[in-house]
Amino acid sequence: MAAQPAMAQSKQLTLCWAAWDPANALVELSKDFTAKSGIGMKFEFVPWTSYADRFLNELNSKGKLCDLIIGDSQWIGGAAENGHYVKLNDFFQREGIRMEDFMPATVTGYSEWPKNTPNYWALPAMGDAIGWTYRKDWFSRPDIKAAFQQKAGRELAPPKTWDELKEVASFFQGREIDGRKVYGAYIYTERGSEGITMGVTNALYAFGFKYEDPKKPYSMQGFVNSADAVKGLEFYKQLYDCCTAPGMTNAYMQEGLDAFKSGQVAMQMNFFAFFPGLYKDPNVGGDKIGFFVNPMQKERGTQLGGQGISVVAYSERRDDALQYIKWFAQPDVQKKWWSLGGYSCHKAVLNDPGFPASAPFAADFLTSMGMVKDFWAEPSYATLLLDMQKRMHDYVIAGQGTAQQALDLLIRDWTKVFKDDGKL
């Protein structure tokens, strides 16, 4: 009898993800799984800056650290084709887990490979997209409102188009508020991993950029470098030049949070995942913060973030890991996941009539998840991403060449990758 507790303790799964607020929520949520199943949970969380390197190396080396992994949406192609993830179709069918119960964009973004086929390698776990925060308290001050009305000839309000966003950002740029100089907008500029790509795409999508000809896969001429795409890229650079804080030449998620929390900026681009924490912030949260969806221009669109949860093919505890997936997929678990600060992708949560009023940013999140677009999820996504990082940073931040040249060069880079992969 004495050995039984020790045997129960020895059943343990390791879940790998990034170190951020939603991961803390998942730790709390997973206590229910352990209580129900007797399976202990261990977590391996690493900072976003090293998340991809750390876990892609783990998968590529067929390591056994992770039984479950919450992997980025762009990894799905490589993970499927290289055999890193367990294919979940038979398991889903056996357990009655229906992909129709999850938001379509999250199934396509986090679970499917090839895209738009019923081949599933993950369960949608953490819905996310780019949204915006703004200083609601500044926007509502009579003196600031009057000054903006006089300058712009319209009422100060959260921007609905990129033109309006630039107008508002320009108005706040260099303005003194409560004895302190502030800046218009915070946008992503980081070069080393994925930052500037995750930022600039929000403008590109809105202006009309597309990755390829929808009728001819991997045919990019006239889509990646269309006249509209050029305008979008030029606009992002104009916004960077006119309306951001000095020194933000290599900045991503954390720098944006710091800039907003410290009262530096009027508006901030960032992932919805951070919004629950910002709303609770003692200095800029509560009544002082507001939220809005990524502005439109010619079209609506926003960069997809978020991840699916997969069973690692090299795990020696596959059955227990699948048990976790089955538990996590339940509607009541998904509802608690949202209440703790995670972003559920389940329709039972998102289509609930009370969802838009369940948090100050819930309605904007729901709107955003209906207009998300994602970067390439090809097995060679890492090379494709680094190509875009270089071309975008060289133009937007370093001021090299023109937007047309940057996008033309990007097509050249990507064409080489797809030729090497035998796709062209």
For 212-268, what is each residue's pLDDT tens digit?
Answer: 999 999 999 999 999 999 999 999 999 999 999 999 999 999 999 999 999 999 999
The residues pairing with 311 across neighbouring beta strands, listed in sequence order, are 68
pLDDT in tens, 270-308: 999 999 999 999 999 999 999 999 999 999 999 999 999
Is the sign of the CA dihedral 254, 260, 264, 268 positive or negative? positive
State the pLDDT confidence band at 357, using cuts at 50, 70 and 90: very high
pLDDT in tens, 391-418: 999 999 999 999 999 999 999 999 999 9
State the pLDDT confidence band at 373, using cuts at 50, 70 and 90: very high
pLDDT in tens, 136-150: 999 999 999 999 999
| Residue 5 pLDDT greater than 70, yes or no | no
- Which pLDDT score is estimated for 111? 98
| Residue 8 pLDDT greater than 90, yes or no | no
Token pair listed for 45: 């969380």
- Which pLDDT score is estimated for 341? 95
State the pLDDT confidence band at 49, using cuts at 50, 70 and 90: confident
CA–CA separation, 291 and 369 (whole Å): 15
| Residue 3 pLDDT greater than 60, yes or no | no
Token pair listed for 246: 């000095």
- Which pLDDT score is estimated for 4? 42
CB of 237 within 8 A of CB of 406? no
Query: For the whole model, what pTM was predicted?
Result: 0.95
CA–CA separation, 227 and 269 (whole Å): 25
> Are β-strands 289-293 and 372-373 bridged in parallel, bridged antiparallel, or unpaired?
unpaired
What is the average pLDDT value for the chain, to the nearest integer?
Answer: 96
> What is the percentage of the chain residues whose pLDDT exceeds 90?
97
